[in-house]
Amino acid sequence: MSGKKRNRIFWLEGVTESEVLKSLNDRKPSRFRQQSARRLLVLTLTGLIFALAAQILLPTTKWQTYLEFTLFAGVIVLYFVLRKAVRHIADSPNELLDERQISARDAAFTVAYRLLTLAFTVYALLYIADDALQGDPSPAGSDMGLGITALLISAAMLAASLPAMVLAWNLPSEPAVED
């Protein structure tokens, strides 16, 4: 039994033990280990998430659907790059992190939830603005399905990525490792 490698899955966090340990122990140089590159990644991801939310204000066309799909694909890709850039610290369970990483992660979650309240105010205003632009109060006459879907997907992606965004923004650059 000692030769068998353990790889637990943490379903709630969305990570595996081997994925987190590999990321934490990775010493290969990466552009995303520098604070300026991580901040640019955060700004880009934030822009794409809110562009996805702003889809609700556009008239429903075939091109809007293509744009929505492209934005969503970009958000997903950048979300996984961001998770890797912060070494999965924002998504890891306590048992895989040391005390410093746990406190940094917990502080990031506190800031993220405070920012989320502001973001959901913006989402509510977008919804109200779209409702005012539609002008048709009857749900049967409106084409709200795609707009609301984009808004909800955007809100979910923001909620999922915001702790990692805060962590990426606040973590200092990692020194280059000499072999």
User: Mind listing the pLDDT tens digit for each residue in 134-170?
Assistant: 765 545 444 555 568 888 999 999 999 999 999 999 9
- pTM to 2 decimal places: 0.83
Of 72, 78, 55, residue with least CA distance to 151: 55
- Specify the pLDDT at position 1: 45
Strand residues in the chain grouped as ranges (E): 9-10, 15-16
